[in-house]
Amino acid sequence: MSAIAAPLKKTLNVALIQLSAGFDKAKNLNHFKTHILKAIGESKNKLDLVVLPECFNSPYSVSEFRNYAETIPDGETTQFLSAIAKEHQIFLVGGSIPELDKTNDKIYNTSVTFDPQGKIVGKHRKAHLFDIDIKGGITFKESITLTGGDKATVYDLDGFGKVGLGICYDIRFPELAQIAARSPNDSFAMIYPGAFNTTTGPLHWHLLARARAIDNQIYTIVCSPARDLNSGYHAYGHSLVVDPYGKIIAEAGEGEEIVYAQLDPELITKVRQGIPINYQRRFDIYNNVVDGATVSDV
């Protein structure tokens, strides 16, 4: 067995900002800024990374996405987040916002990550749109106004290592996390700003976050809006950090809250040494999965 690479190079201190967002964009931005500063001030360790939830500057509503959409990188929210990251010397995953692409007039659900100089180091457009219809539960169709992105996203948090990023429904498709975790990408975490709801959250939120961690022996970080029963979409809450064993190491409740976690560089190596699935994969059996694998006859 060859040496196990260390995808996370040093301890990483992270805070997840679980807040709700209403119709007033300026108020949403200031609410988040106040809590990012609170997290920086209150954290017992110097924060390296702050993560915001899906659609943190707007209501999570198909009919509102276009009204709130901004261009990236010159739009108000991107500039706002870049300035915070730079001033406070943090990596900042800017949840997601509705993005207007002026080249095709389409709207995307997009997450942008900034480095401590305020520079954009990662951008992901939600690839799998949330189109569901659960009888007696929730009906939602993002594709009425949104277009899906067409790429998996992996980028470097300089000094720490690489991460993959997906948005909410993307977590249900294990391939994005596999792409991020496998060589040559070798990410130490998948980060998902996500707004599950009171139907699908209790069913699958914890399971999916834990599954992506166990499948790939990486950390998963899922950051939700807080639940607001006066809004049109009832987010599940329960922002989580899951370790590479699949253990939940930090969890919020349903309301507005900041949760903190410390990611341990040695844990991924330890898990991979103990349960060496990375070296036991049988690509000879399942390398056809995209085209339809051949299965054995009796």
Ligand X SMILES: NC(=O)CC(=O)C(=O)O
CB of 85 to ligand X, least distance (A): 25
3-state helix, strand, coil in the chain (%, to 5): 30, 25, 45
Is 126 a catalytic site residue? yes
Closest to ligand X by CB, 88 vs 172, is 172
Type of residue at 225: P
Closest to ligand X by CB, 18 vs 200, is 200
Q: Dihedral, CA atoms, 268, 273, 274, 276, nearest 10 degrees?
A: 100
CB of 142 to ligand X, least distance (A): 7
Other beta carbons within 10 angstroms of residue 100's beta carbon come to: 20
CB of 19 to ligand X, least distance (A): 17
Catalytic residue among 162, 168, 251, 254: 168
Check the CA dihedral 148-149-152-157 and report its sign.
negative
b/e per residue, 9-20, with b = 16+ CB within 10 A? Answer: eeebbbbbbbbb
* Separation of alpha carbons 235 and 60, rounded Å: 9
Is 42 a catalytic site residue? no
Is 168 a catalytic site residue? yes
Catalytic residue among 25, 55, 99, 126: 126
Residues that bind ligand X (CB under 6 A): 130, 168-169, 172, 195-197, 200
* Separation of alpha carbons 140 and 31, rounded Å: 27
Closest to ligand X by CB, 55 vs 259, is 55
Closest to ligand X by CB, 209 vs 267, is 209
Closest to ligand X by CB, 58 vs 278, is 58
Other beta carbons within 10 angstroms of residue 57's beta carbon come to: 26
Token pair 């939602």 in the structure block, residue: 140
CB of 243 to ligand X, least distance (A): 22
Query: Which residue's CB atom is positioned nearest to ligand X?
Result: 200
Closest to ligand X by CB, 168 vs 242, is 168
* Separation of alpha carbons 253 and 144, rounded Å: 31
Provide φ and ψ at 263, rounded to 5°: -95, 130
Query: Are the beta carbons of 159 and 121 closer than 8 angstroms?
Result: no
CB of 51 to ligand X, least distance (A): 16
CB of 110 to ligand X, least distance (A): 13
Active site amino acids = 54, 126, 168
